[in-house]
């Protein structure tokens, strides 16, 4: 194996071969920063262009392209609260508050360093795993994934700096929202209110973008700009060095998160988003004081960043070991392997092992190069944070909406994002934790799917818990997490909060228990979900009723007290889907921009002219984008008098 | 070995190139209509897979043929229904095409999806290949006589024909485990011994089999597949059903042979390009011209062969006839398919 490692190193770092991963990394970084092109599209183009290349060169390029794209999504998450991809949503939970509190350099350099550490540890774990790779991957089935998901859920209640009861309610709400759409097993539509578009469910990206980016924009508008600016001044030292050192100060967290990322990444069908959120949940649970998580705790940035880069390598391994792609990049890798005569499985892990290491080292090099560029560019990137918030809100909002519409060409995504934005804003305003809802939403489909498969396999007598070592290990993790949660609830909260926790926990356990019992006894069915839904909803409603006694503690503000700016912003945003339906996307966005500016600019002639000019600019820009860049084929508006 | 056989299959495919004369040239009016606009091909599967590769080859060829800008969009949600909705409701002037599998538009079994053949015009079929059962290397079908075969499936309703109907013709009992999130997951389930087999297109099965852990068990065709003559096939003389039913009474044998034939007719992986029924008739006519020109072109055949993707182009009219006959056949067998599916999921 050592020979194979040396050949892989030599392929990657020899001259001029090293230019290939450099080119791939830079290409991936640029593409990741530009909306509308997408890593998959560029990989598909490169796939064709490199048909005549040697196997080594192609693997160098693909390894680099996989590694290069990940980190750039974190930059926009940290600076603008816009996740580059779904996994980057875990980064913004603490990354954006850190930069808001005046530590953009620290946050970016910390993310870059954690990514580098994550990728190095990920590669080391992979090298250690290669001899036992095939049996390890084969061990992780639906039962293990179900337990992994439950572990993720048991960690999330500890995430926020607020009541565990509120976290539990948010968690249930997240699970329920994830069930909108279609049953993952039968394909039958569920809770769609008769809407054909809702059959697909609520998209993760629209939900995350709404929940964080749009909610934050409403909050920005709701706050006085002056006070926000004051907050944005660095209260302490904001430096690249501090960010780098933070990763090494929390070295064990970096190590554990990287291992979580690698192992979760290896499992086909799990994905980087789950890995990042599980790492984040683990960080909050293992932290001594978790009170600042969600408000700029650097550990909440280190964990997902280390996991996100560590999982890159892991996600390619099922493709190498079995010819089964475990991710989108894995799909391309399998195609590349076939096009260039490489054989996945025993051959790639045997006689063609040098090629496997070439791929792994290209990935490592790319991750390190991206981090290096990230650290070097930190001072310049951090300056973007100096742009006043009021100048950022509208461009960020329009950019986010365009990003959404480009994803699937579905107007429903805009509506979902805005509704999630409103929900996120209210939750933030009334100090209800958002993270448990998001994690439960992300894990919901994953949990349900694997619950269904597991119950079916139990029914057919195809799996036994005691025969599955990986399941036993995960079950132990769940028990430890549960015990830890019980201990912190007892130790850290007032008597009233503990009672509330107890009520919620009891009803949640009852609901979950009913669902599980029905699933195990009668087999998975729509009835299982209905029973679980009724039990969980009843639990939530009863618990909320109980909470009324604690209203003063749970609702620090009375309902009608909402800042006027936030009110206007919210009203405008809620009108936007209707406006788009009425006059079309381009005209709708232009009118929205005009209305927005009219609410913030002075209402004199100059203000109106400026608003009109910006609205015109937005309309023309959108027209050019839709006409020449994205052909989305959107449905005709009700009043098609404008483009 | 497998790779060289795949090459043979592709060369056989190239042999049908003279059929290109079937496709009419693109009229000047249509070229003017199309060349100045953007076309979009919606793929309902993830980027990088077989559907996506075909779409990108077609997009390149289409761009070169018409001068138009052709974009590929992967819209994956809702088990493919989201992408179908985008195409179906794209508007009458839109040049939004969908790359779908036949099952998505013929619906042999009633589902909650509301879109079907009546919502789309077929513009042409470009690929058709048999499906194949895949299992662990060394799997022996004879060992499962009188026992229940457990299969992993991702999409319920194609499984009814691909697995349920074929198993019925062989007299095998099948239990399905549904919910696997994709072919990777479903195939990995075989490696974990959760299930015995799964079913995908022959090309996909051969790719998965390249690692040596998995192997094709049965090709759902009515004769030997070119380049893979040694693989057992389901229907027709010399097929597995023919051999299995030799000792049965004539009526049962005829029934089994008939079911096997229907299975092969309903289970082929057939991929084509579609457009919304709402589209303007002139645009529809032009799109038919363009698609036929593209899928019968040598450029398309060579590009597909370079990426190891088999093709079998078919004109819009032939595609329409094929889909209609599939639709009628599926409707005729719908009660049986539904009951088989219910048994599989019991």
Other beta carbons less than 10 A from residue A230's beta carbon:
11
Report, as an integer, the average pLDDT of A303-318: 80
The whole-angstrom separation of Cα A280 and Cα A435 is 10
B2-129+269-331 and B131-266 have identical folds: yes
The whole-angstrom separation of Cα B249 and Cα A451 is 44
Q: Give pLDDT, residue B215.
A: 92
Whether residue A610 lies inside any domain: the answer is: no
Q: Which stretches of A340-434 are DSSP H helices?
A: 353-376, 378-383, 389-408, 411-429
The model's pLDDT over A541-570, given as tens digits with 9 standing for 90+, comes to 555 555 555 554 555 444 444 445 566 777
Which residues from chain B sit within 8 angstroms of residue A635, using beta carbons?
A: 89-91
Q: Give the number of residues written for chain A.
A: 643
Main-chain phi, psi angles of B180, to 5 degrees: -60, 140
* Contact map slice: B 17-56 vs A, CB within 8 A: 37-40, 46-49, 52-53, 56
Q: Give pLDDT, residue A157.
A: 62
Among A203, A270, A322, the residue to mutate for chain B (most B Cβ within 10 A): A322
In the numeric block, the tokens 């039990």 are attached to: A535
Other beta carbons less than 10 A from residue A488's beta carbon:
15
Half-sphere exposure of B244 (CA within 13 A, CB side): 24
Check if the interface score ipTM surpasses 0.85: no
Instruction: Quote the Cα angle for A616-A620-A622, to 5°.
Output: 115
In the numeric block, the tokens 């503990």 are attached to: A498
Report, as an integer, the average pLDDT of A9-34: 79
Of residues A375, A373, A404, the one with CA closest to residue A29: A373
| A380, pLDDT greater than 70 | yes
Least confident of A24-33, A228-237, A551-560, A615-624: A551-560
Which residues from chain A sit within 8 angstroms of residue B192, using beta carbons?
A: 138-139, 141
Least confident of A210-219, B166-175, B218-227: A210-219
CB–CB of A283/A275 below 8 Å? no
A287-291 long-range contacts, Cβ below 8 Å, gap at least 24? A290/A158, A290/A159, A290/A161, A291/A161
At residue B58 the predicted structure's pLDDT band, cuts being 50, 70 and 90, is very high
Which residues from chain B sit within 8 angstroms of residue A323, using beta carbons?
A: 207-208, 210-211
Which residues from chain A sit within 8 angstroms of residue B156, using beta carbons?
A: 185-187
Distance from CA of A125 to the nearest CA of B (A): 22
Which residue(s) pair with B218 in the sheet? Answer: B133
Report, as an integer, the average pLDDT of B65-84: 78
Q: Which residue of B has its CA nearest to A626?
A: B38
Q: What's the fold here for domain B2-129+269-331?
A: D-Maltodextrin-Binding Protein; domain 2 (3.40.190)
Instruction: Quote the Cα angle for B132-B135-B141, to 5°.
Output: 85
If one counts the domains in chain A, the total is 1
Q: What's the fold here for domain B131-266?
A: D-Maltodextrin-Binding Protein; domain 2 (3.40.190)
Which has more pLDDT, A356 or A630?
A356
The whole-angstrom separation of Cα B340 and Cα B346 is 10
Which has more pLDDT, A70 or A422?
A422
Highest-pLDDT range among A299-308, A406-415, A497-506, A592-601: A299-308
Q: Which residue of B has its CA nearest to A451?
A: B179
The whole-angstrom separation of Cα A150 and Cα A477 is 10
Whether residue A412 lies inside any domain: the answer is: yes
Other beta carbons less than 10 A from residue A563's beta carbon:
15
The model's pLDDT over A156-200, given as tens digits with 9 standing for 90+, comes to 665 555 566 677 778 878 888 888 877 776 666 777 766 666 777
Q: Which residue of B has its CA nearest to A44?
A: B48
| B163, pLDDT greater than 80 | yes
* Contact map slice: B 173-202 vs A, CB within 8 A: 175, 177-185, 187-189, 191-195
- Quote helix, strand, coil % in chain B, to nearest 5: 50, 20, 30
Full domain range(s) for residue A367: 2-231+241-547
Q: Give pLDDT, residue A36.
A: 46
Which residues from chain A sit within 8 angstroms of residue B108, using beta carbons?
A: none
Query: Which among B86, B112, B207 is the nearest to A338, CB-wise?
Result: B207
Distance from CA of B296 to the nearest CA of A (A): 20
A178-182 long-range contacts, Cβ below 8 Å, gap at least 24? A178/A202, A178/A440, A178/A441, A178/A442, A178/A443, A178/A444, A178/A445, A178/A448, A179/A444, A179/A448, A179/A529, A179/A533, A181/B78, A182/B78, A182/B79, A182/B81, A182/B112
The model's pLDDT over A384-401, given as tens digits with 9 standing for 90+, comes to 766 666 677 788 788 778
What average pLDDT does the structure give for chain A? 74
Whether residue A604 lies inside any domain: the answer is: no
For chain B, which residues make up each domain, given as ranges? 2-129+269-331, 131-266
Q: Give pLDDT, residue B275.
A: 93
Query: Helix, strand, or coil here: B228?
Result: strand
Q: Give the number of residues written for chain B.
A: 346
Report, as an integer, the average pLDDT of B240-267: 88
CB–CB of A344/A316 below 8 Å? no
The model's pLDDT over A33-65, given as tens digits with 9 standing for 90+, comes to 654 455 666 676 677 677 677 888 888 888 888
Distance from CA of B70 to the nearest CA of A (A): 9
Q: Which stretches of chain B are DSSP H helices?
A: 2-14, 28-35, 50-66, 81-88, 102-106, 156-159, 166-170, 183-191, 202-209, 240-244, 250-267, 281-295, 298-306, 316-332, 334-345
């Amino acid at each position: 194996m050592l020979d194979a490692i040396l050949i892989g190193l030599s392929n990657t770092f020899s001259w001029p071969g090293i230019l290939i991963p450099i080119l791939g990394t830079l290409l991936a970084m640029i593409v990741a920063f530009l909306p509308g092109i997408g890593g998959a599209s560029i990989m598909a183009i490169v796939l064709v262009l490199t048909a005549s290349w040697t196997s080594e060169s192609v693997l160098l390029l693909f390894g680099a392209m996989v590694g290069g794209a990940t980190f750039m999504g974190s930059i926009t998450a940290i600076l603008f609260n816009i996740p580059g991809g779904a996994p980057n949503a875990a980064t913004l939970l603490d990354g954006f508050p850190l930069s808001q509190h005046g530590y953009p350099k620290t946050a970016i350099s910390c993310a870059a360093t954690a990514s580098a550490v994550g990728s190095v540890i990920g590669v080391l774990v992979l090298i250690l795993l290669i001899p036992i790779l095939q049996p390890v991957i084969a061990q992780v089935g639906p039962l293990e994934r179900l337990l992994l998901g439950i572990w993720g859920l048991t960690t999330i209640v500890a995430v926020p700096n607020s009541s565990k009861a509120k976290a539990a309610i948010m968690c249930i709400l997240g699970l329920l929202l994830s069930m909108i759409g279609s049953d993952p097993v039968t394909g039958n539509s569920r809770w769609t209110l008769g809407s054909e578009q809702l059959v697909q469910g609520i998209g993760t990206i629209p939900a995350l973008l709404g929940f964080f980016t749009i909610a934050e924009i409403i909050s920005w508008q709701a706050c006085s700009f002056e006070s926000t600016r004051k907050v944005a001044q660095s209260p302490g030292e904001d430096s690249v060095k501090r960010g780098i050192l933070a990763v090494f100060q929390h070295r064990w967290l970096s190590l554990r998160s990287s291992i979580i990322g690698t192992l979760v990444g290896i499992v086909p069908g799990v994905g980087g988003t789950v890995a990042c959120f599980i790492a984040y949940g683990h960080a909050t649970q293992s932290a001594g004081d978790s009170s600042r998580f969600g408000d700029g705790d650097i550990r909440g940035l280190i964990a997902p960043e280390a996991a996100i880069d560590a999982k890159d390598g892991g996600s390619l391994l099922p493709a190498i070991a079995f010819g089964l792609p475990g991710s989108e990049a894995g799909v391309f890798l399998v195609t590349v392997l076939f096009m260039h005569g490489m054989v996945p499985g025993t051959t790639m892990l045997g006689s063609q092992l040098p090629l496997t290491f070439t791929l792994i080292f290209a990935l490592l090099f790319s991750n390190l190069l991206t981090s290096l560029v990230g650290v070097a560019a930190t001072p310049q990137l951090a300056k973007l944070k100096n742009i006043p918030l009021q100048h950022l809100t509208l461009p960020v909002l329009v950019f986010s909406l365009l990003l959404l519409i480009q994803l699937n060409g579905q107007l429903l995504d805009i509506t979902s994002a805005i509704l999630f934005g409103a929900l996120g804003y209210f939750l933030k305003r009334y100090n209800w934790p958002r993270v448990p809802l998001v994690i439960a939403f992300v894990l919901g489909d994953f949990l349900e799917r694997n619950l269904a498969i597991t119950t079916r396999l139990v029914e057919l007598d195809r799996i036994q818990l005691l025969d599955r070592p990986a399941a036993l290990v995960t079950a132990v993790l769940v028990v430890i997490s549960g015990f830890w949660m019980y201990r912190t609830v007892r130790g850290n909260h007032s008597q009233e909060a503990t009672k509330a926790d107890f009520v919620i926990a009891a009803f949640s356990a009852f609901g979950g228990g009913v669902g599980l019992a029905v699933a195990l006894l009668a087999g998975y069915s729509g009835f299982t979900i209905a029973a679980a839904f009724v039990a969980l909803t009843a639990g939530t409603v009863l618990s909320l009723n109980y909470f009324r006694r604690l209203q003063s503690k749970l609702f620090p503000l009375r309902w009608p007290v909402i800042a006027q700016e936030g009110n206007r912003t919210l009203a405008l945003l809620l009108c936007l889907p209707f406006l788009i339906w009425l006059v079309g996307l381009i005209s709708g966005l232009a009118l929205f921009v005009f209305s927005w500016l009219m609410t913030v600019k002075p209402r004199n002639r100059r203000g109106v002219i400026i608003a009109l000019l910006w609205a015109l600019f937005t309309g023309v820009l959108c027209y050019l984008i839709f006409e020449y860049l994205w052909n989305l084929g959107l449905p005709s508006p009700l009043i098609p008098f404008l483009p | 070995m497998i790779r060289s056989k795949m090459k043979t299959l592709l060369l056989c495919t190239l042999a049908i190139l003279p059929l290109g004369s079937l496709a009419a040239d693109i009229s000047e009016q249509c070229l003017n209509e199309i060349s100045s606009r953007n076309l979009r091909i919606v793929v309902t599967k993830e980027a990088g897979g077989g559907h996506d590769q075909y779409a990108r080859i077609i997009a390149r060829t289409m761009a070169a043929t018409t001068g138009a800008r052709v974009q590929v969009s992967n819209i994956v949600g809702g088990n493919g229904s989201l992408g179908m909705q985008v195409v179906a409701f794209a508007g009458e002037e839109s040049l939004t095409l969908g790359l779908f599998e036949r099952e998505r538009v013929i619906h042999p079994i009633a589902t909650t999806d509301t879109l079907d053949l009546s919502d789309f015009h077929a513009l042409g079929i470009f690929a058709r290949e048999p499906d194949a059962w895949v299992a662990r290397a060394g799997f022996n079908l004879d060992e499962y006589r009188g026992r229940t075969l457990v299969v992993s499936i991702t999409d319920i309703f194609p499984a009814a024909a691909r697995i349920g109907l074929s198993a019925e013709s062989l007299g095998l009992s099948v239990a399905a485990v549904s919910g696997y999130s994709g072919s990777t997951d479903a195939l990995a389930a075989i490696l974990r011994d959760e299930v015995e087999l799964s079913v995908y297109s022959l090309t996909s099965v051969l790719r998965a089999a390249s690692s040596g852990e998995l192997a094709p068990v049965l090709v759902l065709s009515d004769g030997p597949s070119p380049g893979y003559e040694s693989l057992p096939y389901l229907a027709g003389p010399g097929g597995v059903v023919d051999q299995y039913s030799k000792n049965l009474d004539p009526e049962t044998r005829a029934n089994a042979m008939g079911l096997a034939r229907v299975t092969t007719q309903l289970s082929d992986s057939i991929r084509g390009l579609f457009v919304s029924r709402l589209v303007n008739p002139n645009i529809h006519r032009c799109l038919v011209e363009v698609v036929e020109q593209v899928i019968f072109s040598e450029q398309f055949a060579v590009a597909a062969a370079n990426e190891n993707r088999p093709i079998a182009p078919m004109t819009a009219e032939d595609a329409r006839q094929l889909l209609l006959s599939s639709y009628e056949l599926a409707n005729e067998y719908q009660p049986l398919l539904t009951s088989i599916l219910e048994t599989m999921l019991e």
